[in-house]
Structure 1
Amino acid sequence: FLGRITMQKGPEYFVEAAARVLKKTNRVRFVMAGSGDMMNKMILLSAQRNISDRFHFTGFLRGKQVYEMLKASDVYVMPSVSEPFGISPLEAMQVGVPSIISKQSGCAEILTNVIKTDYWDIDAMADAIYSIITYPAIYKQLREEGEREVNEIKWKYAGQKVIDIYHKVMHNNN
């Protein structure tokens, strides 16, 4: 998890999914990188779920620290309740990190080589995390195809789509 630790970003769903994964295997560590008004609640929740020894809170990261954290990760999870777009999964995918995103995020509309779950479905999120860390073929496919996909996303393509729609609308009105 990398982002503001606020209600909008769904940090409690990440903690709950982590607790479920840790019931299946203890060969995994979870990191919540960022800061926000729910940080103390998340620290308490990880203690209540008895996963504090496998759960790390880094505080706010910036610049190279963000890149290094992503690069050191096996999976990136964005369980956002509300996310107009969400750049962070793209950043994770650029460095070859398989990503799990909420269906409610704007980037879910354009990304295909990610696993999408409802933000509230902690069982599906936990299953996705477990699958990526357990099955090398899933990890490899999401890593390679995700990196390829995100490298094909260019602002000029998005801009051209807008121009094409504009021309179509103008042509239909004449």
Structure 2
Amino acid sequence: MASLTRLGQIIIITHSHPPNRHGVRWLNPGIKVYHIPFVTLTASATLPNFFTFLPYFRTIMLRERVQFVHGHASLSSLAHEGLLHSHHLGIRTVFTDHSLFSLDDATGILTNKLLAGALKSADAIIGVSHTGRENTMLRANAVVEVLQTPTDPRFFVVPNAILPEQFRPGPVTQRDLTKQITIVVISRLAYRKGVDLLVAAAPRICTQFPQVHFVIGGDGPKLTNLLQMRERHMLQDRIHLLGSLRHDQVHETLLKGDIYLNTSLTESFGIGLLEAACTGLYVVSTRVGGVPEVLPQDMISFAMPEEDDVTRALGEAIDIVTQGKHDPQKAHERIKSMYSWVDVAERTDKIYNWVATKEPRSFWERLCRTYDLGVFAGPIYSGGYPVIDWMFWTTETSGMRLDSLG
């Protein structure tokens, strides 16, 4: 974000975070944040608001003279609504998807239809990995569109990055790794993050390698499973649960370890892998989603999302670290040369410039594209376009301010 501010003015629109995050705030370096007063539900999510969000959105867009709206996250109702409203103001849109979702469960079916409706009018879509890009194409029903225009696609890949100076390895020591090796896990303790695999593999590793200790940071619904496993196998002195961690505690926790373990069942990119590798840890991860695109093959050991294979990969990593085949300082320098927020900002700016050169879709074209969503979703989505267009037309011709309706 700081790198993008060098290329232009940026504002952020999000919902309020009671009790002290509301109204307009300023962040370094000069980023203006609007906290919309919407009630949040679990996990800081908000219900779709649609017309309720419109007065706030229009006022902010006109006040700040916005040229591009960039939405993030496929489950963000504010991002979806921002994409839908922007075109009525003549504002170009870009969307970045950070997650992978399946196509055959209830959650995927419902959310994918919402995403497809929002992306029908988006000018450009960004994935954080090639796997993530392909997943978004499938969920947005855009495969045929890409095949028809292979030389001019609106789907791009821009990976995440980190600040390497915030994840430096610890001082070099002559610690005997044959006596103690620490495996670090930092994750939301939920099913999607593969905590069940961790629960199954950790006791086996502790039995097979007496020198191994686990440090686990994070909180979530699967915390109880970890506590029960630790109690059942009497591993209180070898498996340390830290609970929820603030972002500024992540580096400190990583410095305690030699190996970083990721057991996710689905992952579009895996920023945690990048942070761990930059701190000098050897990485073990399940081979899912976009994870194979993140690190060089000699810095990571892969496992299938199965208990036996996770145990095998951890054993392989322990041998590599014990034999001194992994150099933390060299790993840090390699990550530093591979990932940069400046590069991410420049690639994103090129996408903005590409969008600016394209002719915007007409109201009728967007209406027809949206109607193709399906028998039920098509009429529902496309029916909203004339209503919103009429509201904007009424506002502009009558001189009424939409924010007076909120």
- TM class by shorter-chain length? 0.7 to 0.9
Tell me what 1:63 maps to: 247
130, 140, 149: which one aligns with 2:334: 149
Once structures 1 and 2 are overlaid, which stretch shifts more, 143-152 or 95-104? 143-152
Percent sequence identity is: 25
* Contact 2:199/2:225 (8 A) holds in 1: no
Contact 2:199 2:226 in 1 (8 A): yes
Distance 1:161 1:70 in 2: 30
What is residue 53 of structure 1 aligned with on the other side? 237
What's the TM-score, normalizing by structure 2?
0.37
Q: Does 1:36 align with 2:254?
A: no
Match of 1:124 among 309, 331, 335: 309
CA deviations over 1:127-156 (Å, ceiling 9, x no partner): 332333344466543645543332122345
Match of 2:318 in 1: 133
Q: Which has the higher helix share?
A: 1
Q: Gaps spanning 5+ residues in structure 2: where?
A: 1-184, 355-406
CA distance in 1, matches of 2:302, 2:323: 14
Distance 2:317 2:324 in 1: 5
Greater C-alpha Rg:
2
Corresponding residue to 1:4 among 183, 188, 200: 188
How far did residue 68 of structure 1 move? 0.8
Q: Which moved more, 1:85-94 or 1:46-55?
A: 46-55
Query: Which residue number corresponds to residue 261 of structure 2?
Result: 77
Q: C-alpha distance in 2, partners of 1:35/1:16?
A: 18
Q: Which has the higher strand share?
A: 2
* Matched positions, count: 166
The offset of 1:45, in angstroms, is: 2.3
Bigger relative contact order, structure 1 or 2, given CA contacts below 8 A and separation 6+? 1
Inter-CA distance 51–40: structure 2 relative to 1 (3 Å threshold): same
Q: Is the 8 A contact 1:31 1:58 kept in 2?
A: yes
Give how far 1:42 is off. Answer: 1.7
Quick check: 123-132 or 69-78, which moved more?
Answer: 123-132
The SS at the match of 1:31 is strand
Instruction: Report the Cα offset of residue 28 of structure 1.
Output: 1.5
Is 2:198 aligned against 1:14? yes
Q: Deviations over 1:22-69 (max 9, x none)?
A: 121221211221000111122112323443332111101113321111
Contact 1:35 1:60 in 2 (8 A): yes
